[in-house]
Structure 1
Amino acid sequence: MMPASGRPWVVCKFGGTSVSSRARWDTIVEVVRTHRAEGRAPFLVCSALQGISDQLEALCAQLASAEPGAPESTLNTIRERHRALGQDLGVEAEAVLSGEFARLERWVDEIQATDGPSPRQRAAVLATGELLSTRLGAAYLSAQGLPAEWLDAREFLRATDDPHLPPRRQYLAANCTSHADPGLQARLADAPETVYLTQGFIASNALDETVLLGRGGSDTSAAHFAAKLEAERTEVWTDVPGLFTANPGEVPSGRLLRRLDYDEAQELATMGARVLHPRCLDPARRHQIPLHVRSTEAPSLDGTIVSGEGPDVGPQVKAISAKTDITAVSMDTLGMWQEVGFLADVFQVFKHHGLSVDLMATSESNVTVTLDPVANALDPDILDRLLHDLNRYCDAELIDPCAIVSLVGRHIRSLLSELGPAFEVFDEQKVHLVTQAASDLNMSFVVDEDQASRLVRELHAQFFGHRAPDAVFGPRWQELVEDGTPEETPDVWWRERREALLRLADDESPRYVYDPEVVTARSDEVQGLGPIDQSFYAVKANPHPEVLRLLERRGLGFECVSPGELDRVFEACPGLDPARVLFQPNFAAPAEYADAFERGVHVTVDNVQPLAEHPDVFAGEELFVRVDPGQGEGHHRKVRTAGAQSKFGVVPDDLGRLRAAVDQAGATVVGLHAHVGSGITDESTWAGLVDLLASLAAEFPAVRALNVGGGLGVPNASGGRPLDLDALDAALGKAAARHPQYDLWMEPGRYLVAEAGVLLARVTQTKTKDAAAYVGLDTGMNSLLRPALYGAHHEIVNLSRLDEPPAMTADVVGPVCETGDVLGHDRRLPPTEPGDTLLVATTGAYGASMSNRYNLREPASEVMLAPEPA
């Protein structure tokens, strides 16, 4: 259907990142003008500013907990974000937004006066983000000479009435029907030159109350409006230019998918590709409206087209996807074998609790299903009640956190004979469930969540690592970044010290090189955490003597886990006060404890047995006790150091036995310790440990210090959220205020040294095998084990040709006789030849310290850079 102007409608949805800055709104203006110049009538659907929905969620949580002062602080943050954008846009934000802010404040007052927020109240609060952003947007478009009319989406999108759904689903994850709407078309035809702008995510019910279409529901709103307007197409504008063979934030070599049909896109969206919301595909398919995925960061790129027409390429895997934060429910019983109605009974339990099942696998005595948090409220109380009711029929247990790793494509069953080698990546991994979709569009594996990223990278390397572009597969993400959206050169120290590094590589290769200025800066950041009374450097991260001496001068102590590390610390720092040293071994022999006591350092135990069987070693000594909080954190299973699958720590239930052993030995517990993992970016983690340890300290009245461990996350190349030290400082400050009787200790390691170190290696050979290219170095997993051990990602650059543009994609490999000796898959490099020096970044932690002499190859040597001249 065309408006009166004779132009076909195009519905353009703009996501949170696309409406959060002046630069992105300028792109929106250009999109509108381009469509109008090309004879189309644009209709805009906009999300809330990036992060505002999260702030509104936090506001609801604060109102539920009645935390004093917190709601007002969050409200001020929301106001300031919009005022700042308004100022950037040249829009009078106070005048434009005052009505919406007043309504939000009235909802807050109502919630505070009740036991809310109820689902109805929560929906009204969360809708505010879209209402605010579109008010600003309409004002800005008009100021740019594009007459804009603000429309309230709730007037046009009505939720379907389903009284059987629980209130949470009715208000927070509602469904709408899509159909042509002649009334809306006629209304908009009255002003053909007007640009119409409305909200995503929100709709209304039969009572004219606000309901939501679920997080990410703006895509669905756009699809419904496209159906109502009988649009020529829908455009989803986001921060990436299309759908890819894998999430480009995790796999930079992911290839753009040029064209998909509706079913394939639906499968990708359902199985974890977050560019599109799964519910937006059904209206598009039903009304045969093509859907274009575009990027406001690179508007010149064509992106992905989803339609009913696509190239017929036969059976093919088109993407590897992952969906995290999944809960699996395993139900065991021999009673289900040949039992009529067992599945009906257990699924009635899920329905009773308002839970939607995602994947399912059955056998004669087990049914295992997965629950997706996007579709379900997986509150602990709900899950406890679910298990209680299921246990009437079977032995039910939860398995979490899990992830679903999926091969998505077409006619997957036809490819089974070709998939065998790919399945080797699951070797030695626990696979909880395997499903093959009846639609033959995916094969999925439910695994432990911490394995998902590595499995996706390895599967992607097998299926797409050396695939050439064709009608389906476009350029790699790295190539699009280079050609379409050039990024600013990262501000890293090794670019400024390039010449010095090249000289060091000429003298000797391979070689680890450390920059003292980075170590100094990171140590000062940690020392600047006000609530921490003493920081101890985790020596295992990097025991290089010059690193130790530098940190000793900055005032840090040292945390050692072996006699060898104790020797290294006291050799590097003669005269060091033993009170600045912690000895925290695991499964150590009695002689190691005795030696540590002799040295006069602090000693930590994490098991009852040494105390019970060797009381003479601990007689009269002061001890720290390492507690297992029960749940690990971090970027990989192998660096999570808490929970039943981890060998570290004493569980709280055993502290009574430990106290008895301490008393029998005549020792005194003066401190409690907990360390839950590495690479943590949730700033609340350490404050939570303060509270936990303080609650346990009543068992030990002499406790004066709480050691909350380390694991501070280091920025990485995959775009993960960095650790916010200001937020960490604030969270620790609140925890310290709750427990002022204790000193707080911390033991960072990787955070202090990772970014300070690089590995320099010389190219020895290059090789091409069909479409596969390899760049071989004079060292590999013997110097840097992390990629092989964890699937860790390190940036790799050709330091000899640092300013030359990328022109090839290759696996960077070492000389060790192992297939796994790969330092980086599918890396974009300039033309690279033998003799060039490659740099592997962020290797200052667990690089040299984990190196080995496998194949009797010597690992890289180490050197500290001289400070730059003043």
Structure 2
Amino acid sequence: MSDARNWTVLKFGGTSVKSLADWRIIHKRAAGLKAAGKRVFIVHSAIRGISDALDALAGQAVAGRADAALEPIFERHRELAAELDLDADTLLAVEFADLSRLAAGIALTRDASPRLKAEIMAKGELMATRLGAAWLNAQGLATHWLDARDALTAQTDGPVQGYLAVDCDHACDDDLLARLDEEASGGVLTQGFIARRRDGDTALLGRGGSDTSAAYFAAKLDAEALEIWTDVPGFFSADPRLTGSARQIKALSYDEAQELASMGAGVLHPRTIAPVRRAGIEMQVLCTQRPDMAGTRISAAPSEDAPRLKAVSVKHGVRLITLETDGMWRASGFLAQAFEPFARHGVSIDLVSTSETSVTVSLDADPSLTTDLIETLETDLARIAQVTVIENCAAVSLVGRGVRALLAQFGPAMEAFAHYPLRLVSQAANDLNLTVVVDGDQGVALCRRLHDQLIQPKPLDKTFGASWREIGESPAQESALAAPLWWRQKREALLDLCPAEGARYVYDLDTVRARASAIAGLKHLDRGFYAMKANGHPDILQAVAEAGMGIECVSLAEVRAAMGAAPQLTAEQILFTPNFAPRSEYAEALKLGVHLTLDGLHPLKHWPDLFAGASVTLRINPQRPEGHHKHVRTAGPEAKFGLHADEVAEAVELAKAAGATITGLHVHSGSGISDPEHWRRVGQFLSETARDLSDVKVLDLGGGLGVDEASGPRRIDTDALDIMLGELKAAFPDYEFWLEPGRFIVAEAGVLLARVTQTKSTPDANFVGLATGMNSLIRPALYGARHEIVNLTRLEENADWIADIVGPICESADKLGTQRLLPETHEGDVMLVGNGGAYGRVMASHYNMREPADEAVI
């Protein structure tokens, strides 16, 4: 390769060109490459948010509001120019004038054609690159501004795709190389996203097109390398917005990267891979805000040859279309007939599943799939088969090398599918993914669950690096919901509280009060009850009561403990929800006057005398399980809790015969639910059930408010929950709505402290032994729960050692955590297990005659 072709292409997204700080990073990287003898070719996007604003401009212009839409666009560029010490009105005079002219034309004709929209959208990249090139030149880094439309030519000239979603030729371009040799003695800066049609009009590469532009230019220049700079340091084993335990992937082959990008990973546009793969150009995905990190390398060589699961991804907005007909059996050419309408209407199929009498296909979310188009397609397909369309699904994919060889390893994780209705299962022909399609509201939970069970780093791992949270990042969707980890702020006090031998649970009452107040303060919730089975410590019960919550109990012993710990509570503030309890407990509860819930017919059938004059609540099984593990899904066909809907009528008759009044209905679906829409579904189910029950005044939505198992900070968005409750109350104003969370109130408030007793290393694993194990915390063994674990003694030291965290119990299941990234750990160090406030001490045992952890509060 000659020096003339010694090019490195750098692509920067909109979040990487938005400020002076970003441009300093770009300058440093470009100057470093130039000093190393490389020629630099920069491709970048419009400033963050500008493409969306330009996309909306056409509609605003049609509505006669062009000036109001234009001014924020101009002002954003003036702000960046001022930060870069540049004059936007001079540098961008042509683009500002063009935008005003185009918007005025649309306002006059009321016609926002694809041609005009492409012209408008292109201005974002043109304006941003004008500023970038001027600033780099002002810093002494010679930079030639290139109009990408003079180098990239659209391959199609159709009426819509030919303007808004084009492909371009990307063969090595000797003419472009010669031109740059002549015109650009230094670096080059150009636009992503835009190209030119053969008739001279502007065309767009579609959203994500800047990645593709960079790949096209790398191939046309026969570049040595392509660097994609974005807002995350490479590919991760899952979307970090879904789970902070997502791990950085150090290296991928082209086909693995293609699969990940196609299956929903938003780091890289799927069309980016093909041009560099054909040209054999190595690619790196890097982070502008973390330029010190190596990111993900993408090349022809896989990171390792052995079969290995690399990631779990989820795609939303998936649509399924199923064709059913007996005429398919042994009918040659049926699939050709079935697929022909898709081809004729330009609809791309993603997944395909067939049987003897049906075929199901999935369609990815695509703005071009309008309602009219889908209805036309459905009409055409109905000529050959019965058609069913299922909207709003999610595709969850296990992506890796040699997936077929890994199926046996997936066995323990397959129980996650037990209560998720699978709409389609597809194993990729290239052996790179196994995909299931589920209902849209199940996609995130399933993705997170499979990731935490199946992504297991190894010591000295060549595939995975640190997790998103271990490298100090905070997922965007999570940050708004996260509170600072209290145990970091109170580290010294916790170190002092850890016993020399044994273990200790420590509960932070400030956190308990905050969580309880968040529930008691919901504007649209009539009552909140704390499910004390999660943690019955007297100080916690008192703190919850002081915050304004009642107490939900599942045994008479809990009722007595609640009354003893918080004597200010009245019987009206205690909810008793027994399950298969003896007659005596029901009798005493009725005598005490607490709220009583019945979840079976037996008490009313066999002890009717108990209920004369009593008011009771019925617990109904909605037959739709929710939750993070089968052992906490308290609804569904296999659950022991609640009346089947078909039994409600009989329960009403039995209650009437006994002289009891049914004043409430109750549902509890499970634990670890983070989607507020779940409680909307429950509320609608209960209101429909209560329609013919005139005495019912209370609808108890249950509990199960989610706390993320992987780390702790993420929990359900209580603001979104309150909005949902408000909508329920508006729709069903005749009812009170109650909630009874447990884990949400106390999980994050508790930590388990124990000292390291021994460490051990084998050729295949490292182990850190603690002074306690499953006798103190059984959730990992029982539920497969994942708790955050840190070395509190060495909290600020670099984590570069992967180990399993185990206890002294004589059971192979005695693991508190597997494959955790830790600093080098020694005997006597204090280890902290997070999220230990719920179902920890209350489920502890004396197994092996070892004392479980004791308790303290701060």
Report the TM-score, using the length of structure 2 for normalisation. Answer: 0.76
CA distance in 1, matches of 2:555, 2:79: 53
Counterpart residue identity of residue 286, structure 2? R
Residue deviations 1:819-838 (CA, integer Å, cap 9, x gap): 44322222222332333331
Residue deviations 1:682-723 (CA, integer Å, cap 9, x gap): 566667777787787765566655555544444665699665
SS in 2 for 1:845: coil
How far off is 1:842 after superposition?
1.9
Aligned length: 835
Q: 2:219 matched to 1:227?
A: yes
SS in 1 for 2:291: coil
CA distance in 1, matches of 2:534, 2:92: 51
Superposition pairs for residues 301-450 of structure 1, below 5 Å? 301-308=293-300, 310=301, 316-317=307-308, 319-325=310-316, 336-348=328-340, 356-360=348-352, 371-373=363-365, 389=381, 393=385, 403-406=395-398, 408-409=400-401, 416=405, 419=406, 422-426=409-413, 428=415, 430=417, 437-439=428-430, 441-442=431-432, 444=434, 446=436, 449=443, 450=445
- Per mean C-alpha deviation after superposition, the further-off stretch among 595-604 and 475-484 is 475-484
CA distance in 1, matches of 2:103, 2:143: 28
- Answer whether contact 2:312 2:450 (CA < 8 A) is retained: no
Name the CA shift for 1:210/1:768 in 2 (closer, same or farther; >3 Å): same
CA distance in 2, matches of 1:557, 1:604: 15
Superposition pairs for residues 42-53 of structure 1, below 5 Å? 42-47=40-45
Q: 2:477 matched to 1:477?
A: no
Name the CA shift for 1:696/1:475 in 2 (closer, same or farther; >3 Å): closer
SS in 2 for 1:755: coil
Counterpart residue identity of residue 35, structure 1? L
From 510, 513, 517, the equivalent of 1:520 is 513
Q: Which residue of the partner structure matches residue 568 of structure 1?
A: 561
CA distance in 2, matches of 1:775, 1:297: 34
Q: Which residue of the partner structure matches residue 10 of structure 1?
A: 8
CA distance in 2, matches of 1:251, 1:171: 39
From 837, 847, 861, the equivalent of 2:840 is 847
- Answer whether contact 1:246 1:319 (CA < 8 A) is retained: no
Name the CA shift for 1:742/1:368 in 2 (closer, same or farther; >3 Å): closer
- Answer whether contact 2:153 2:168 (CA < 8 A) is retained: yes
- Answer whether contact 2:505 2:750 (CA < 8 A) is retained: yes
SS in 2 for 1:42: strand
Name the CA shift for 1:332/1:570 in 2 (closer, same or farther; >3 Å): farther
How far off is 1:27 after superposition?
1.7
From 824, 827, 833, the equivalent of 1:834 is 827
Residue deviations 1:145-192 (CA, integer Å, cap 9, x gap): 6677877767866665497x9x7x888766444345678768767763
From 23, 26, 40, the equivalent of 2:24 is 26
Residue deviations 1:542-575 (CA, integer Å, cap 9, x gap): 2222211111112222233444433332232224
- Answer whether contact 1:13 1:222 (CA < 8 A) is retained: yes
Q: 2:292 matched to 1:297?
A: no
SS in 1 for 2:776: coil
CA distance in 1, matches of 2:35, 2:494: 53
How far off is 1:264 after superposition?
3.8
- Answer whether contact 2:312 2:447 (CA < 8 A) is retained: no
How far off is 1:343 after superposition?
2.8
How far off is 1:286 after superposition?
2.7
Q: Which residue of the partner structure matches residue 793 of structure 1?
A: 786
Residue deviations 1:84-118 (CA, integer Å, cap 9, x gap): 8788767789999998899799989989x99x999
How far off is 1:518 after superposition?
1.8
Counterpart residue identity of residue 8, structure 2? V
- Per mean C-alpha deviation after superposition, the further-off stretch among 504-513 and 544-553 is 504-513
SS in 2 for 1:793: coil
Residue deviations 1:769-794 (CA, integer Å, cap 9, x gap): 21411112233333323333444332
CA distance in 2, matches of 1:589, 1:35: 77
CA distance in 1, matches of 2:596, 2:119: 54
CA distance in 2, matches of 1:657, 1:226: 73
How far off is 1:239 after superposition?
3.9
Superposition pairs for residues 702-741 of structure 1, below 5 Å? 707-714=700-707, 723-725=716-718
CA distance in 2, matches of 1:391, 1:591: 65
How far off is 1:233 after superposition?
2.8
Name the CA shift for 1:513/1:290 in 2 (closer, same or farther; >3 Å): same
- Answer whether contact 2:426 2:435 (CA < 8 A) is retained: yes
How far off is 1:282 after superposition?
1.0
Q: 2:782 matched to 1:784?
A: no
Name the CA shift for 1:363/1:222 in 2 (closer, same or farther; >3 Å): same
Q: Which residue of the partner structure matches residue 868 of structure 1?
A: none
From 467, 487, 491, the equivalent of 1:494 is 487
Counterpart residue identity of residue 558, structure 1? I
Residue deviations 1:418-467 (CA, integer Å, cap 9, x gap): x576244346455967766544x525253865444444444443xx523x
Counterpart residue identity of residue 27, structure 1? I
How far off is 1:635 after superposition?
5.3
Q: 2:848 matched to 1:859?
A: no
Name the CA shift for 1:360/1:858 in 2 (closer, same or farther; >3 Å): farther
Q: 2:577 matched to 1:577?
A: no
CA distance in 2, matches of 1:643, 1:56: 48
SS in 1 for 2:400: strand
From 534, 540, 545, the equivalent of 2:533 is 540
Report the TM-score, using the length of structure 1 for normalisation. Answer: 0.75
SS in 2 for 1:801: coil
Q: Which residue of the partner structure matches residue 267 of structure 1?
A: 259
CA distance in 2, matches of 1:646, 1:55: 50
Name the CA shift for 1:275/1:313 in 2 (closer, same or farther; >3 Å): same
Q: Which residue of the partner structure matches residue 288 of structure 1?
A: 280
- Per mean C-alpha deviation after superposition, the further-off stretch among 11-20 and 544-553 is 11-20
How far off is 1:534 after superposition?
3.3
- Answer whether contact 1:672 1:693 (CA < 8 A) is retained: yes
How far off is 1:758 after superposition?
0.4
Counterpart residue identity of residue 803, structure 2? A
CA distance in 2, matches of 1:739, 1:101: 54
Counterpart residue identity of residue 268, structure 2? L
Listed as ranges, the gaps of 5+ residues in structure 1 are 866-870
- Answer whether contact 2:42 2:188 (CA < 8 A) is retained: yes
- Per mean C-alpha deviation after superposition, the further-off stretch among 442-451 and 830-839 is 442-451
- Answer whether contact 1:774 1:811 (CA < 8 A) is retained: yes
Name the CA shift for 1:46/1:550 in 2 (closer, same or farther; >3 Å): same
SS in 1 for 2:499: helix
Question: How large is the RMSD of aligned CA atoms in angstroms?
Answer: 5.8
CA distance in 2, matches of 1:72, 1:599: 69
- Answer whether contact 1:253 1:476 (CA < 8 A) is retained: no
Counterpart residue identity of residue 210, structure 2? S
Residue deviations 1:230-273 (CA, integer Å, cap 9, x gap): 54432111344444677778585957434x54334323433455
Superposition pairs for residues 665-814 of structure 1, below 5 Å? 678-682=671-675, 699=692, 707-714=700-707, 723-725=716-718, 744-814=737-807
Counterpart residue identity of residue 25, structure 2? T
- Answer whether contact 1:454 1:791 (CA < 8 A) is retained: no
Superposition pairs for residues 183-194 of structure 1, below 5 Å? 192=184
SS in 1 for 2:350: strand
CA distance in 1, matches of 2:382, 2:427: 26
SS in 2 for 1:358: coil
CA distance in 2, matches of 1:598, 1:131: 78
CA distance in 2, matches of 1:277, 1:825: 33
- Per mean C-alpha deviation after superposition, the further-off stretch among 238-247 and 648-657 is 648-657
SS in 2 for 1:237: strand
